[in-house]
Amino acid sequence: MSFVHLDRVTKCFGELEVLRHVSLDVDEHNVVCLIGASGSGKSTLLRCINLLEKVDEGTIVVDGQEITNGHVDVNALRRKIGIVFQAYNLFPHMTVLENVTLGPKKVRQLNARQSRDTARELLERIGLAEKADEFPDRLSGGQQQRVAIARALAMEPKLMLLDEITSALDPQLVSDVLDLVRELASTGMTMILATHEMSFAREVADKVCFLDAGVICEEGSPEQIFSDPTEPRTREFLGRVIAAGRL
């Protein structure tokens, strides 16, 4: 059984059908990349998986538990799913260390010492140990995004959702963040990431899904999707991406 299983998920905002009959399987320790034009529904799909959005139809199963039946403990579910946003969304009134320890303290109920030790270890790992006591606005975008990843990892999630986490970064800051994601992938973290970094997707993904107007138009191995797409729409999208110099 796959770790994340979406079965004909439909999500509407008013009249607008943002996801239509989306089915998707993500195996444990796999990395799935969602690609597609902006507005195609990538963020919405990720947000449905940790119930930041409620689906209108269809079912989602995470870690053997159906989460779309309305009986699920939302906070317990989110505890095992980390999400990182394009805009980092660090807490500006807390230091880097406090950002990373908030979840462990309040949700995992670790004591101050345990949560601090965990956080320091993580900051070490992302190469920002010396920034522990800085406030987020003193950090570069790339550093902030790595802190946001550390904040999510501090919950020891079983699944990470990454939503275009490099899209707001200056080009020279992208690689540090991608290195970190690469390292996460190598440790076997299950991840779903929405991304515009096609060469990165090709490198880390076990599966690539092309979303078009709320529908998974094509999915397959990175080699197949990027070298030999079968759907005309996929070809057209990749053609535009290549023209924009992103592949």
Partner 1 sequence: MHQVINTFFSPHDFRVAFPNVWAGFQVNLKLMVVAEVLVLILALALAVIRGLPGRGARPLRALAIVYTDFFRGTPLILVAFVIGFGLPALNVHGISSRSNFTYGVIALTLVYTAYVTEVYRAGIESVHPSQRMAARSLGLSYWQAMRYVVIPQAVRRVIPPLLNDFIGLQKDTALVSVIGVAEAALQSQAYSQTYANFTSYTVAAVLFVLLTIPLARFTDHLILARELRERATAT
Binding site residues, ligand ADP, CB under 6 A: 13, 16, 18, 36, 38-44, 194
Contact mark string toward partner 1, 44..83, x via CB under 8 A = ------x-x----------------------xx-xx-xxx
Quick one: which segment of 149-157, 181-189, 211-219, 227-235 binds partner 1 (CB under 8 A)?
A: 149-157
Give the HSE-up count for residue 195: Cα atoms under 13 Å, Cβ half-sphere.
Answer: 29
Residue 11 binding: pick among partner 1, ligand ADP, Mg ion, none (C-beta 5-8 Å cut-off by kind): none
d(CA 243, CA 32): 24
Size of the site for Mg ion (CB under 5 A): 1
What's the token pair of residue 104?
Answer: 């462990």
Q: How far is the CB of 34 from ligand ADP (least distance, A)?
A: 8
Residue 58 binding: pick among ligand ADP, Mg ion, partner 1, none (C-beta 5-8 Å cut-off by kind): none
What's the token pair of residue 82?
Answer: 């980390």
Residue labelled with tokens 């997707």 = 201
Residue 71 binding: pick among partner 1, Mg ion, ligand ADP, none (C-beta 5-8 Å cut-off by kind): none
CA distances from 92 to 15, 112, 135, 168, 197 (A): 36, 20, 7, 17, 28
Contact mark string toward partner 1, 81..100, x via CB under 8 A = xxx-x-x-xxxxx-------
Residue labelled with tokens 């979303």 = 211
Pick 194 or 208: Cβ nearer partner 1:
194
H/E run at residue 95: none
CA distances from 161 to 84, 127, 173 (A): 6, 21, 20
Quick one: which segment of 37-45, 63-71, 72-80, 124-132 binds Mg ion (CB under 5 A)?
A: 37-45
Residues between 199 and 238 with contacts to partner 1, criterion CB under 8 A: none
213-221 contacts, C-beta under 8 A, 24 or more apart: 213/20, 213/40, 213/41, 214/11, 214/17, 214/18, 214/19, 214/20, 214/22, 214/40, 214/41, 215/20, 215/21, 215/22, 216/22, 216/23, 216/24, 217/36, 219/24
Q: How far is the CB of 79 from partner 1 (least distance, A)?
A: 4
Size of the site for partner 1 (CB under 8 A): 24
Residue 40 binding: pick among partner 1, ligand ADP, Mg ion, none (C-beta 5-8 Å cut-off by kind): ligand ADP
Interacting residues toward partner 1 by CB under 8 A: 50, 52, 75-76, 78-79, 81-83, 85, 87, 89-93, 102-103, 106-107, 137, 151-152, 155
